[in-house]
A and B are shown apart, each in its own frame.
Chain A
């Protein structure tokens, strides 16, 4: 079974990663920032699986599974934080959550 060349998968992965990075950098809602982070993680997953296919072994797939598990945990923590912030009636805006400035 022959598919598109490996380069195309990597292009898609890079494209997804850039979209995610732009979302993290540009959006102000923490919810969207979290979503963008997920997109970046999935871009990485796609690249990993592509390379696994290229090399013909399963190492990349194992890594991708590990990344999914980490991503799930990260969403739990991140959403928990966002809910906690919202409960305190603080604006959901990452630019205003900057008490840790020097």
Chain B
């Protein structure tokens, strides 16, 4: 079982190293297969670990395996250790399973790109980083994985480095993630200082004896990291820009790796958040605000990938809502189903983009249903799951979160209202996208590509993962039926440490049904609205210019950060350069070098190159010495 965990962690790393070392000796396609196989080998390891866990008694499902002591300093030491428990096993299965399908899809999608080997090495590295993050047995190793995920995302978002927008987006993602890394590191410093250990269990036990201030600081630091990595307000603006990367990269970031890390962190560190209930409420509140803002902004986006990106932000907002209120199992459940249907949506969108030779603007699409009937079906399944329509996977998981919100007192009910409005928005923006892209008359661009270049809808490496994920998006939610059957929540219960059940809130059956009815009803209303404006085109799309402009500028977040952080920093830098750097530091250095050069030149004059002068100097010096010695005696 521990062997399975190590294989799961190291196989993708081995794939990345192998591709890098073999370099040009393997073909680009072989690199893709090496990467795919390495991640599927990791999936095999994850399944082994999972089966090993299932075989154990529920209270013994936590295994820590250490390779060696990684860092030691006085009484403080950190092992290179992996933790295998129900939570990490679930994440391992999602990361390697969905990740493997996405990389298989890339083999077809990236075919013909000039730098495929680099791409696949990065993809394997990305999966390895995420596995290190979810399997880490202590906070420091988790932070190492956390940072590596940021690095891998930087490399992949900026993969098309000849495009300035891609480079800018990569830098933006990296810097904003570094902010989260920093707050997390600060939280860990507080833990080391006050508790003296970064091991999960020891830290959680020690946190119980800390002062309220310290616990709140730690929880805030962790929340900062989670918010940055999961692209929640206010550190969310990197995610839509990250769409500059290749489509499978977007799928990997959104479905399997990266953005789900924040939710994982909150669930993993839940004892700390329970000690700081205000911070947990803040997480839930931020999640709700994010899901609303992202839902509104998604209504006006015209880039097909950006719409899906905002829907990810919105869905992660639901997960934060659930995890913040203590419905950890439901949050993780939504994380899993979201991985299925979001990867499906991205890859179906990728098929469309591939078919249209790289076009992402929805205004130039339309009527693709006839040209790509199977892609349409896959997209429809993903969209229905995203909108939470029964019996698809999104229905079970999203409604479970909403029911938990309903059961969490007045604050929870307030957030429930936000979540319900979010469900309405989800229905509208998802089906707006579906109707614009697939229904109506074929647009000129679509007619131009109507023959599909003889490729049908895509090579099998692309269509097979989409088909598999479509099946998963349909049945993925059936492992848990609200109020009746909840094996997924039971499975996660052992990580609660001291409590019998992990979840802090237990919605009643009535609340479950009320939440489901409201969410599905609002989702249907949303789909109906989208049909009215974009499907049937019965009425013109309403345009209120102020609202439209605000939403198109994503509520001015980029402009706001530009004004608050970027411009003052640039101003200060210019000021310092003009008044400190150039006159003081640069001037003094120039003076020193000039002086040294002049002194050197003066001494150099003595070196004439005439042998006789050197000999005369020596003889003269000796003569003077003789005179001196004689005189002294």
Binding site for B on A (CB under 8 A): 21, 24-26, 33, 94-95, 97-102
Q: Is the C-beta of B25 less than 8 angstroms from some C-beta in chain A?
A: no
Asked whether, in the complex, the Cβ of A94 is within 8 Å of the Cβ of B612, the reply is yes
Give every chain B residue within 8 A of A100 (Cβ-Cβ): 607, 609
Name the distance in Å between A63's Cβ and chain B's nearest Cβ. Answer: 18
Query: In the complex, A24→B422 CA distance in Å?
Result: 101
Query: In the complex, A101→B610 CA distance in Å?
Result: 8
Name the residue of chain A whose CB is nearest to the CB of B607.
Answer: A102
Q: A98-B609, A102-B606 are in contact. List 9 more A-B contacts (CB 8 A).
A: A24-B615, A25-B612, A25-B616, A26-B612, A97-B609, A98-B608, A100-B609, A101-B608, A102-B605
Residue picked from B605, B606, B607, B612, most chain A C-beta under 10 Å: B612
Q: Is the C-beta of B75 less than 8 angstroms from some C-beta in chain A?
A: no
Q: Is the C-beta of B603 less than 8 angstroms from some C-beta in chain A?
A: yes
Asked whether, in the complex, the Cβ of B609 is within 8 Å of the Cβ of A99, the reply is yes
Give every chain A residue within 8 A of B615 (Cβ-Cβ): 21, 24-25
Asked whether, in the complex, the Cβ of A102 is within 8 Å of the Cβ of B603, the reply is yes
Give every chain B residue within 8 A of A26 (Cβ-Cβ): 612
Give every chain A residue within 8 A of B604 (Cβ-Cβ): 102
Give every chain B residue within 8 A of A102 (Cβ-Cβ): 603-609
Name the distance in Å between A21's Cβ and chain B's nearest Cβ. Answer: 6
Give every chain B residue within 8 A of A101 (Cβ-Cβ): 607-610
Asked whether, in the complex, the Cβ of A33 is within 8 Å of the Cβ of B606, the reply is no
Q: Is the C-beta of B611 less than 8 angstroms from some C-beta in chain A?
A: yes
Q: Is the C-beta of B468 less than 8 angstroms from some C-beta in chain A?
A: no
The 6 A-B pairs at the shortest CB distance, nearest first, are namely: A98-B609, A102-B604, A101-B609, A102-B607, A94-B611, A25-B612
Give every chain B residue within 8 A of A25 (Cβ-Cβ): 612, 615-616, 619
Asked whether, in the complex, the Cβ of A98 is within 8 Å of the Cβ of B612, the reply is no
Query: In the complex, A33→B603 CA distance in Å?
Result: 27
- A-B contacts, 12 listed (Cβ < 8 Å): A21-B615, A25-B619, A94-B611, A94-B612, A95-B610, A97-B611, A99-B609, A100-B607, A100-B609, A101-B610, A102-B603, A102-B608
Give every chain A residue within 8 A of B606 (Cβ-Cβ): 102
Name the distance in Å between B278's Cβ and chain A's nearest Cβ. Answer: 75
Name the distance in Å between A93's Cβ and chain B's nearest Cβ. Answer: 10
Asked whether, in the complex, the Cβ of A24 is within 8 Å of the Cβ of B609, the reply is no
Binding site for A on B (CB under 8 A): 603-612, 615-616, 619
Query: In the complex, A24→B612 CA distance in Å?
Result: 7
Name the distance in Å between B608's Cβ and chain A's nearest Cβ. Answer: 5
Query: In the complex, A24→B603 CA distance in Å?
Result: 25
Give every chain B residue within 8 A of A95 (Cβ-Cβ): 610-612
Query: In the complex, A21→B608 CA distance in Å?
Result: 20
Give every chain A residue within 8 A of B611 (Cβ-Cβ): 33, 94-95, 97-98
Query: In the complex, A97→B604 CA distance in Å?
Result: 17
Name the residue of chain B whose CB is nearest to the CB of A37.
Answer: B615
Query: In the complex, A100→B611 CA distance in Å?
Result: 10
Name the distance in Å between B617's Cβ and chain A's nearest Cβ. Answer: 11
Query: In the complex, A7→B13 CA distance in Å?
Result: 90
Query: In the complex, A99→B611 CA distance in Å?
Result: 11
Name the distance in Å between B611's Cβ and chain A's nearest Cβ. Answer: 5
Query: In the complex, A102→B610 CA distance in Å?
Result: 11
Name the distance in Å between A41's Cβ and chain B's nearest Cβ. Answer: 14
Give every chain B residue within 8 A of A24 (Cβ-Cβ): 612, 615
Query: In the complex, A26→B603 CA distance in Å?
Result: 25
Name the residue of chain B whose CB is nearest to the CB of A101.
Answer: B609
Query: In the complex, A100→B606 CA distance in Å?
Result: 11
Asked whether, in the complex, the Cβ of B619 is within 8 Å of the Cβ of A21, the reply is yes
Query: In the complex, A101→B605 CA distance in Å?
Result: 8
Query: In the complex, A99→B605 CA distance in Å?
Result: 13
Give every chain A residue within 8 A of B619 (Cβ-Cβ): 21, 25
Name the distance in Å between B550's Cβ and chain A's nearest Cβ. Answer: 73
Give every chain A residue within 8 A of B612 (Cβ-Cβ): 24-26, 94-95
Query: In the complex, A83→B362 CA distance in Å?
Result: 85
Query: In the complex, A99→B608 CA distance in Å?
Result: 9
Name the residue of chain B whose CB is nearest to the CB of A26.
Answer: B612
Name the residue of chain B whose CB is nearest to the CB of A33.
Answer: B611
Name the residue of chain A whose CB is nearest to the CB of B612.
Answer: A25
Give every chain A residue within 8 A of B610 (Cβ-Cβ): 94-95, 98, 101
Give every chain B residue within 8 A of A94 (Cβ-Cβ): 610-612
Query: In the complex, A64→B399 CA distance in Å?
Result: 108
Query: In the complex, A102→B603 CA distance in Å?
Result: 8
Name the distance in Å between B451's Cβ and chain A's nearest Cβ. Answer: 76
Name the distance in Å between B603's Cβ and chain A's nearest Cβ. Answer: 7
Name the residue of chain A whose CB is nearest to the CB of B603.
Answer: A102
Give every chain A residue within 8 A of B603 (Cβ-Cβ): 102
Query: In the complex, A94→B608 CA distance in Å?
Result: 12
Name the residue of chain A whose CB is nearest to the CB of B602.
Answer: A102
Query: In the complex, A55→B610 CA distance in Å?
Result: 41
Query: In the complex, A97→B616 CA distance in Å?
Result: 17
Residue picked from A94, A99, A101, A102, most chain B C-beta under 10 Å: A102
Name the residue of chain B whose CB is nearest to the CB of A95.
Answer: B610
Give every chain A residue within 8 A of B605 (Cβ-Cβ): 102
Name the distance in Å between B627's Cβ and chain A's nearest Cβ. Answer: 15
Name the residue of chain A whose CB is nearest to the CB of B616.
Answer: A25
Query: In the complex, A94→B616 CA distance in Å?
Result: 14
Give every chain A residue within 8 A of B609 (Cβ-Cβ): 97-102
Query: In the complex, A25→B617 CA distance in Å?
Result: 10
Name the residue of chain A whose CB is nearest to the CB of B608.
Answer: A101
Name the residue of chain B whose CB is nearest to the CB of A27.
Answer: B612
Query: In the complex, A24→B615 CA distance in Å?
Result: 8
Name the distance in Å between A38's Cβ and chain B's nearest Cβ. Answer: 15
Query: In the complex, A90→B200 CA distance in Å?
Result: 81
